[in-house]
């Protein structure tokens, strides 16, 4: 009978949970999953609102999210998944403009007519373009400027790039941009509008189902546990204790992984790659209110002086009857984690953002807010520049038995629960192969 192999998984997001699910099918693996926070789920972790669970950062599924949809079916959660049409607007020139259909684009007055036409043609081209390799070394800013013109850049694309990537916006690879347009354009149902998916009870229903399944299979789960070091002798320091492993999988941000690895020459090049990947932080403000602030689900904020990127009325997507009759809102921004705004005290940040909401919605009354929550994430979005492919770290590290799987490795695609599940499947297969080899 084969000897039991100890597997340590660091990180309880969807990648770590999926990897644990797949690896726990092997009875010869003894698996421990370690999560530094008090709960599982990663960026999709939930918190209680209106008698149910809501994500700390806004989440939904696309029709193209095939990996997580297969997992949902496997877990028997199909009846909890609902699909709804999306409603998108752009706040520009002091007004919210519908931005859902090609006709909405043609009516988008802040942009010149030629810019609107060129933008529509560019989106159609990117939707059907399958080979993105030639776009890697081109910046999204330059490519889209050539394709759409300066008016479209000023009113549509540059504000979105700046909101997503802050000071790095002019260096973002067009391959990344292609992936974003390609995914959204293909998440349309039979010629209709964009369809998005969400779970009754929030994404926490998936997290809970995964947790229950892997616990039943004998996976040991430690929350509130800090990994301080991963050593070359197949041990890790966790909350001051030495924990042996045969295989270790780290699923957190690349720079955090670099800090845990030992200082040895064989790792120098790998660690340099990890440290070369820059990240922006994210801040999400969630609030509930009796006030209804319009008909849109998702509003991109394209004004040059806007302090945040997006305003989401979640209950225009999933009805307020699911949240005790309250309207649920997100306000979100990507920010430098060492910047002033990221570290503002909660009350100051809320005032800054609520003052701007008053500009968008003159009837908005902060005094009518029932509850308010602010969540900060220091490493939420990696910077995908034109040399990014050279920075991507291998899944298998030079340290024997140690693996990495995170969003920095899925270029040109971006973050998302679907890719987290896909990467969990992939890394589990690699570890099984390594064990068999």
C-alpha neighbours within 13 Å on the C-beta side of residue 152? 23
User: Binning pLDDT at 50, 70 and 90, where does residue 192 land?
Assistant: low
- Architecture per CATH, 5-44+203-277+392-436: 3-Layer(bba) Sandwich (3.50)
pLDDT at 155 over 90: yes
Nearest CA among 212, 207, 281, 253 for reference residue 45: 207
Q: What angle do CA 420, 314, 51 make, to 5 degrees?
A: 90
Whole-angstrom distance between the N-terminal and C-terminal Cα of the chain? 17
Extract the tokens encoding 140.
């999204």
Position 29 pLDDT exceeds 60: yes
Q: Report the pLDDT averaged over residues 141-162.
A: 98
Predicted local distance difference test score (pLDDT) of residue 213: 98
Using only C-alpha atoms, the chain has a radius of gyration, in whole angstroms, of: 22
Whether pLDDT at 191 is above 60: no
Element (H, E) at 120: helix 113-128
The helix/strand/coil state of 192 is coil
| Burial (CB count <10 Å: 0-12, 13-18, 19+), residue 196 | buried
Q: What is the pLDDT of residue 359?
A: 97
- Distance of alpha carbon 27 from alpha carbon 22, whole angstroms: 11
Q: What is the mean pLDDT of residues 268-275?
A: 97
**Residues 288-298, mean pLDDT to the nearest whole number:** 97
Q: Which CATH class is domain 279-382?
A: alpha beta
Looking at residue 292, its pLDDT comes to 97
pLDDT value of residue 190:
54
Q: Is the pLDDT of residue 1 over 80?
A: no
- State both tokens at 27: 């009875």
Closest CA to 184 of 432, 425, 418, 420: 418
Mean pLDDT score, 13-39: 97
User: What value does the mean pLDDT take over residues 331-350?
Assistant: 97
- For range 407-428, the mean pLDDT: 95
Question: What are 54-100's pLDDT values in tens digits?
Answer: 999 999 999 999 999 999 999 999 999 999 999 999 999 999 999 99
Q: What is residue 157's DSSP assignment?
A: I
384 against 195, higher pLDDT: 384
User: CA-CA distance, 112 to 105, in Å (whole number)?
Assistant: 11
Nearest CA among 286, 210, 251 for reference residue 53: 286
User: What pLDDT score was predicted for residue 188?
Assistant: 67
What does the pLDDT look like over 406-417, one tens digit per residue?
999 999 998 899
Q: Which two tokens stand for residue 109?
A: 């007055």
User: Where in the chain are the domains?
Assistant: 5-44+203-277+392-436, 102-185, 279-382
Structure tokens at 391: 């920075």
Please answer whether residues 253 and 15 qualify as being in contact, where contact means their C-beta atoms are separated by less than 8 angstroms.
no
Q: What is the pLDDT of residue 437?
A: 79
Peptide bond into 132 cis (omega under 30): no
For 138-174, letters b (16+ CB in 10 Å) and e give bbbbebbbebbbebbbbbbbbbbbbbbbbebbebbbb
pTM here?
0.95
Question: Contact 71/18 with Cβ under 8 angstroms?
Answer: yes
**Confidence tier at 182 by pLDDT (50, 70, 90):** confident
- pLDDT of the residue at 187: 66
Write down the mean pLDDT value for the chain: 95
Dump pLDDT digits (tens) for 16-25. Answer: 999 999 999 9
Are residues 419 and 16 in contact, defined by beta-carbon separation less than 8 angstroms? no
What was the pLDDT predicted at 106? 96
Q: What is the mean pLDDT of residues 274-303?
A: 97
**Closest Cα partner for 420 from 7, 12, 13?**
13
111-138 pLDDT tens trace:
999 999 999 999 999 999 999 999 999 9
User: Please, what is the angle between helix 417-436 and helix 66-74, to 10°?
Assistant: 80
pLDDT of amino acid 2: 67
């Amino acid at each position: 009978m084969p000897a039991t192999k100890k597997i340590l998984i660091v990180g309880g997001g969807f990648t770590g949970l999926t990897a644990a699910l797949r690896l726990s099918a092997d009875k010869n693996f003894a698996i421990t999953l370690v999560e530094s926070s008090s709960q599982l789920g990663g960026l999709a972790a939930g918190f209680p609102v209106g008698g149910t669970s809501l994500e700390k950062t806004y989440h939904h599924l696309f029709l193209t999210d095939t990996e997580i949809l297969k997992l949902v079916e496997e877990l028997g959660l199909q009846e909890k998944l609902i699909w709804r049409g999306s409603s998108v607007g752009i706040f520009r020139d002091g007004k919210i403009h519908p931005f859902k259909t090609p006709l909405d684009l043609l009516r988008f007055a802040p942009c010149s007519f030629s810019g609107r036409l060129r933008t529509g043609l560019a989106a159609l081209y990117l939707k059907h373009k399958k080979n993105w390799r030639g776009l890697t070394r081109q910046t999204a800013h330059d490519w889209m400027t050539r394709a759409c013109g300066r008016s479209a850049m000023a009113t549509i694309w540059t504000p979105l790039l700046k909101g997503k990537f802050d000071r790095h916006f002019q260096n973002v690879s067009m391959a990344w941009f292609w992936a974003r347009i390609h995914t959204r354009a293909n998440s349309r149902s039979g010629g209709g509008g964009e369809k998005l998916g969400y779970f009754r009870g929030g994404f926490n229903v998936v997290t809970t189902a995964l947790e229950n399944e892997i616990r039943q299979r004998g996976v040991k789960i430690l929350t509130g546990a800090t990994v301080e070091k991963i050593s070359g002798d197949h041990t890790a320091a966790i909350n001051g204790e030495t924990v042996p492993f045969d295989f270790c999988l780290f699923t957190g941000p690349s720079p955090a992984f670099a800090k845990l690895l030992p200082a040895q020459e064989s790792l120098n090049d790998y660690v340099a790659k990890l440290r070369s990947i820059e990240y922006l932080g994210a801040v999400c403000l969630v609030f509930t209110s009796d006030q209804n602030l319009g008909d849109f689900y998702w509003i991109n904020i394209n004004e040059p002086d806007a302090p945040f990127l997006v305003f989401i009325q979640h209950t225009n997507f999933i009805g307020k009857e699911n949240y005790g009759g309250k309207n649920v809102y997100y306000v979100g921004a990507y920010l430098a984690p060492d910047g002033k705004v990221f570290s503002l005290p909660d009350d100051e940040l809320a005032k800054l953002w609520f003052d701007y909401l008053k500009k968008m919605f003159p009837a908005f009354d902060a005094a009518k807010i029932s509850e308010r929550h602010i969540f900060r994430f220091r490493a939420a979005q990696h910077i995908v520049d034109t040399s990014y492919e050279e920075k991507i770290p291998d899944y298998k590290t030079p340290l024997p038995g140690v693996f990495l799987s995170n969003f920095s490795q899925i270029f040109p695609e971006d973050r998302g629960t679907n890719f987290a599940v896909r990467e969990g499947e992939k890394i589990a297969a690699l570890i099984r192969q390594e064990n068999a080899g």
